[in-house]
């Protein structure tokens, strides 16, 4: 089956049959990048970076905690972006991208909360405090879970795509509202409580380790999402010719190896 020739525009990758092989080719590179950067980042974080003067060794959780928290918020924005693109441009692939992103975003939310709890116990003396950041992170997790549950509960794929996109956008509009309301609630309630923001000025190696880990989790997200979106594309497009040809080729490759 010949590809529709629309010139060199990047938009041709909006077509699932063009995106499918591209995703397959890009994913291993991002995975490799993620592995290398994670190793470098962890080495910087756990070997090179000095012990923190006030917190001791416990602070080292930030090399996982902070990138995870960043990614969890960033992924929601990307998800809402693809949802909006899907609703406006009516592109099937955009909906698939937002649905492929959601589980990774939820995972990063859990990692951020979990590592935060592990850090909070020795530092604050409690696994959980109703701090503004913790609370809004937990609510973000619920937004992810709602999105995933809704798209899974609807059987008709077209309805699932659009319903998910609408709730993602509603959530994106509400995220700032939730964040600020929780922040004011907390400050109105019990005055300045423990805060993550008053970290002492960071040593360069600490900052470097954190940034490397952030890029690593970004590359990991890309790799995982590209891998996750491929079978989703095949499932959606299973009635088309190109998927038949693709599966045939895959079967031949498997057969040749065996």
Partner 1 sequence: MLSTFFAVLRRDLLLAWRGRADVLVTLAFFVIVVCLFPFGVGAEPNQLRAIAPGVLWVAALLACLLSLHRLFAQDHVDGTLEQLLLSSEPAVLWVTAKVLAFWLTTGLPVVAVAPVLALLLDLEQGGLPVLVISLLLGTPILALLGAVGAALTLGLRGGGMLLALLVLPLFVPVLIFGAGAVEAELSGTGAAAHLLLLGGGLAGALALAPWGCAAALRVSTE
Is there binding between residue 145 and partner 1 (CB under 8 A)?
A: yes
**Binding residue for partner 1, selected from 26, 42, 154, 202, defined by CB under 8 A:** 154
Cα angle at 75 between 71 and 78, to 5 degrees? 140
Cα–Cα distance between 160 and 43 in angstroms, integer?
43
**Binding residue for partner 1, selected from 173, 207, 247, 252, defined by CB under 8 A:** 173
For 81-98, letters b (16+ CB in 10 Å) and e give bbbbbbbeeebbbbbbbb
Kindly tell me which of 19 and 144 has the beta carbon lying closer to partner 1: 144
Report the chain's C-alpha Rg in angstroms: 21
Is there binding between residue 157 and partner 1 (CB under 8 A)?
A: no
Within 115-144, which residues bind partner 1 (CB under 8 A)?
139, 142-143
Q: In this structure, are residues 101 and 82 in contact, taking their beta carbons and an 8 Å threshold? A: yes
Kindly tell me which of 116 and 171 has the beta carbon lying closer to partner 1: 171
Cα–Cα distance between 17 and 147 in angstroms, integer?
26
Is there binding between residue 159 and partner 1 (CB under 8 A)?
A: yes
Stretches 3-11, 146-154, 193-201, 203-211: which one binds partner 1 (CB under 8 A)? 146-154
* Residue written as token pair 């099937």: 92
Stretches 28-36, 67-75, 120-128, 174-182: which one binds partner 1 (CB under 8 A)? 174-182
Kindly tell me which of 66 and 141 has the beta carbon lying closer to partner 1: 141
For residue 56 the two structure tokens come to: 């001791």
CA distances to 140, 177, 194 from 105, in Å = 9, 20, 26
**Binding residue for partner 1, selected from 48, 77, 89, 166, defined by CB under 8 A:** 166
Site of interaction with partner 1 (CB under 8 A): 139, 142-143, 145-146, 149-150, 153-154, 158-159, 162-163, 166-167, 169-171, 173-174, 177-178, 181-182, 184-185, 188
């Amino acid at each position: 089956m010949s590809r529709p020739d629309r010139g060199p525009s990047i938009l041709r990758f909006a077509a699932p049959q063009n995106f499918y092989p591209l995703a397959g080719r890009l994913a291993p590179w991002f995975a490799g990048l993620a592995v290398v950067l994670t190793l470098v980042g962890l080495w910087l974080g756990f070997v090179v970076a000095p012990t923190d003067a006030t917190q001791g060794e416990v602070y080292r959780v930030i090399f996982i905690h902070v990138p995870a928290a960043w990614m969890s918020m960033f992924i929601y924005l990307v998800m809402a972006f693809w949802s909006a693109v899907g609703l406006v441009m009516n592109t099937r692939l955009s909906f698939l991208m937002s649905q492929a992103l959601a589980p990774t975003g939820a995972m990063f939310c859990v990692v951020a909360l979990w590592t935060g709890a592990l850090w909070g116990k020795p530092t604050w003396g409690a696994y959980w405090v109703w701090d503004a950041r913790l609370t809004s992170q937990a609510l973000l997790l619920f937004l992810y879970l709602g999105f995933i549950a809704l798209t899974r509960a609807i059987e008709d794929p077209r309805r699932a795509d659009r319903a998910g996109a609408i709730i993602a956008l509603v959530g994106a509009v509400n995220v700032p509202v939730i964040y600020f309301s929780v922040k004011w609630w907390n400050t109105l309630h019990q005055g300045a409580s423990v805060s993550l923001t008053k970290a002492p000025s960071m040593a360069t190696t600490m900052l470097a380790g954190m940034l490397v880990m952030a890029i690593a989790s970004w590359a990991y997200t890309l790799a995982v999402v590209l891998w996750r979106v491929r079978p989703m594309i095949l499932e959606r497009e299973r009635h088309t010719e190109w998927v038949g040809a693709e599966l045939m080729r895959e079967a031949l490759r498997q057969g040749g190896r065996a």
